[in-house]
Structure 1
């Protein structure tokens, strides 16, 4: 005999609603650094969060393409997309995404808690974050990396800095400041805002007493979108000088050494922070 199933109205609401997290990324989602950070972030949140978390990924890609061409269209698209979805947390990755989220959060994700990642300590002052914004900034260890480079190659007389065009983190200005504080015996040559071909040619012509400091190169002077790690591999093929940098995702792809930012560690730390925020919101709710 069939037994009718009776569901209590209280039991039907026993399972809490999932929490919604938007990951707003300003770079190409297939950049190795972001893949490493994103994987560590998601694994940590899934392991530490008491509630079910649904992830939504949005890519602005405004490092490789001019933001002034994309901003209005992105806002219109995201407003339509999230019109009927309550978002609990928006994680903005890199300063460009943080700036976008601060300007448009109330229209796209009203009421969402904002968290920032992949933002240097120096960038925080420029961004003027609201007091309620959380995040774990990192320090780009330019000074330590320069010290390391000069210890490994003490006869260095020339430091060639390679960077691209378009908006990036504030690393270039910070690096210039560090180099100005150095001994007058060191010459700084800025291979910045050149085409990729010009950059490769300039690196190939460096003297024996030079080193290369590679920051990032998402776009060259011609407007060509690029992947920094692939650029680094090309530089390593051309350069006779050792290449130094501060990003962990570049180790093994042409970078000789550096005091690095480990993106897996950064992702785990941010994941733990978001899990705590979601737990606090659930308790308050």
Structure 2
């Protein structure tokens, strides 16, 4: 440090506000050695006294205000009651790396203390302006800035911030603890651990990042290093030297440093095949234009024909693929914890240097996609950011709700299908039972008809013959008794015929229906018109019997319920089907029963037609008669 800095640092404290006021009063009040004018005869007024001692009264007034507003201690030169920390950065203000550190550092300090801790951040821009005279002037300026203020701790960031802090400490803050962060072991071994200091050591991930990039691109033969001018950008020079010493024997090192930005953009766009690019720091290009490294990456990486890598987490998202990235937020939190221990009274010498890994494995999904790097090829534990969120991630609650609704609906539908299936099974069972009942009914009718025809009817016929012979033998003429017996025999024969029409099997369906219509017409006096095929085909026994029974039921219903004067029956027979239509001119069916099954007769007809695979239809209306159609 030069003599100016020593003079600034060794001078007395500046006068306090009270001292300034006192000196003002001395200058405005005459001393006993001054020439005194003769006393005035007239007594001075209050305003004359105020005018004569205006400086004294002004000082008293200001001090009174300070006492009333709680600033008496400051007015008398006392130090503020809260802790003060000075952070020394070697970069210019606004760099994302140090902004992330400062935000997390100050937030962690606020959480650690109930009372406020005042933090002053000095961004000295030593990486771009590292001349000795610049550092000397900075020392003078800092000495003037913090002269008379108590400083409780100094935080030095990075290798160059640490070198500056320990270079100034003997004159600026000789007994103030120095806490450093962002230093590697090499810097500590070179510079040494200053007295009354402690800090966090870490290894930067630039070399590991390049090794990882070589694993991702095993055919790499060239490593392009992009940075600022080595004579101006100390970080660029520092990292270039380490990379060159490590990889120069096995790979061609392409130095793209110290050129103007347009030239660098052109060079990275025309790199040889099998090249990876690495950028550590670019604060100024060859034309003197200033950048942050994030700004430089965003200008270079999009047009490059090789993947870009770096080792700082704030660089992620500007165009680098990723790697072992130094996380300044983690550094800020742990540095704040160390500073808190010292502010609470712990000695720095009692705290050992802590080796901490602040690097995180992180990658940009967009760059992985651009350079066709599969995620499975990344080292285990890698974080992939900027990945487009999936539909599940954006709408998982809605998806779960939809799945739940679908499951409930599926269960309800399954229950409904099961209910329908059971109903169909029951319906088939009922139809089967109904068919068996109808078959049993026909069998019983056939048996009863046979008994009536073969037994009772024959016996009645013999009885009628014997009765006629007896009447003729005794000469007794009792014609009414003989007529009753013959009528009874005919009725029994008709009952047997209705139970099982023998003509249906011997003559066929059409003649049997024609004969039945004639019987109905003769018995009830209602005109019955039958239309049938001239040459009827032979229908199977079961469908013929079903159609005959339906015709019987339809005619009997018309006779009993419709009050019709004329009934029409039409039979059509085709090779594979038959159609029967029965209509009347009766009163029809009431409107409130239209289209419904009313009465066991229609139910029985419908069931018979269903058993033979046919269709049954009833059309009726009040006053327009009834039409029954089966097919």
Q: Indicate the RMSD between aligned Cα atoms, in angstroms.
A: 2.1
In the alignment, the residues of structure 2 paired with residue 55 and residue 91 of structure 1 have an alpha-carbon distance, to the nearest angstrom, of 10
Secondary structure of 1:104 counterpart: helix
CA 1:128–1:198 in 2, change beyond 3 Å: closer, same or farther?
A: farther
- Correspondence for 2:90 among 26, 44, 47: 26
CA 1:69–1:232 in 2, change beyond 3 Å: closer, same or farther?
A: farther
How far did residue 188 of structure 1 move? 1.6
For structure 1, which segment, 74-83 or 62-71, has the greater mean C-alpha deviation from structure 2 after superposition?
62-71
1:188 to 2:253 alignment:
yes
Residues 50-199 of structure 1: matches in 2 within 5 Å?
52-165=116-229, 166=232, 167-168=234-235, 170-180=238-248, 184=250, 186-199=251-264
In the alignment, the residues of structure 1 paired with residue 197 and residue 284 of structure 2 have an alpha-carbon distance, to the nearest angstrom, of 30
CA 1:200–1:125 in 2, change beyond 3 Å: closer, same or farther?
A: farther
1:263 to 2:328 alignment:
yes
* Counterpart contact for 2:235–2:280, Cα < 8 Å: no
Aligned to 1:9: none
Aligned to 1:44: 108
In the alignment, the residues of structure 1 paired with residue 224 and residue 289 of structure 2 have an alpha-carbon distance, to the nearest angstrom, of 22
* Counterpart contact for 2:176–2:196, Cα < 8 Å: no
How far did residue 51 of structure 1 move? 5.1
In the alignment, the residues of structure 1 paired with residue 257 and residue 92 of structure 2 have an alpha-carbon distance, to the nearest angstrom, of 21
Secondary structure of 1:259 counterpart: strand
- 1:227-259 CA-partner distances (Å, limit 9, x unpaired): 111001111122011001111110011111111
In the alignment, the residues of structure 2 paired with residue 149 and residue 188 of structure 1 have an alpha-carbon distance, to the nearest angstrom, of 15
* Counterpart contact for 1:64–1:225, Cα < 8 Å: no
Residues 264-283 of structure 1: matches in 2 within 5 Å?
264-281=329-346
Kindly tell me the number of residue pairs found equivalent between the two proteins: 264
TM-score, normalised with respect to structure 2: 0.40
Whichever structure has more helix as a proportion of its residues is 2
In the alignment, the residues of structure 2 paired with residue 120 and residue 198 of structure 1 have an alpha-carbon distance, to the nearest angstrom, of 33
Secondary structure of 2:142 counterpart: helix
* Counterpart contact for 1:40–1:267, Cα < 8 Å: yes
CA 1:143–1:65 in 2, change beyond 3 Å: closer, same or farther?
A: closer
For structure 1, which segment, 24-33 or 191-200, has the greater mean C-alpha deviation from structure 2 after superposition?
191-200
1:234 to 2:299 alignment:
yes
CA 1:120–1:164 in 2, change beyond 3 Å: closer, same or farther?
A: farther
1:220 to 2:289 alignment:
no
Secondary structure of 2:320 counterpart: coil
In the alignment, the residues of structure 2 paired with residue 249 and residue 120 of structure 1 have an alpha-carbon distance, to the nearest angstrom, of 19
* Counterpart contact for 2:104–2:333, Cα < 8 Å: yes
**Structure 2 regions of 5+ residues with no counterpart?**
1-79, 348-631
In the alignment, the residues of structure 2 paired with residue 201 and residue 124 of structure 1 have an alpha-carbon distance, to the nearest angstrom, of 39
TM-score, normalised with respect to structure 1: 0.85
* Counterpart contact for 2:282–2:292, Cα < 8 Å: yes
For structure 1, which segment, 45-54 or 134-143, has the greater mean C-alpha deviation from structure 2 after superposition?
45-54
In the alignment, the residues of structure 2 paired with residue 200 and residue 116 of structure 1 have an alpha-carbon distance, to the nearest angstrom, of 36
For structure 1, which segment, 146-155 or 26-35, has the greater mean C-alpha deviation from structure 2 after superposition?
146-155
**Structure 1 regions of 5+ residues with no counterpart?**
1-15
Aligned to 2:318: 253
- 1:103-152 CA-partner distances (Å, limit 9, x unpaired): 11222223211111222332222222314321112211233212221222
* Counterpart contact for 1:158–1:187, Cα < 8 Å: yes
In the alignment, the residues of structure 2 paired with residue 195 and residue 69 of structure 1 have an alpha-carbon distance, to the nearest angstrom, of 27
Aligned to 2:436: none
How far did residue 27 of structure 1 move? 0.6
Query: Relative contact order, CA 8 A, sep 6+: which one is greater?
Result: 1
In the alignment, the residues of structure 1 paired with residue 83 and residue 159 of structure 2 have an alpha-carbon distance, to the nearest angstrom, of 25
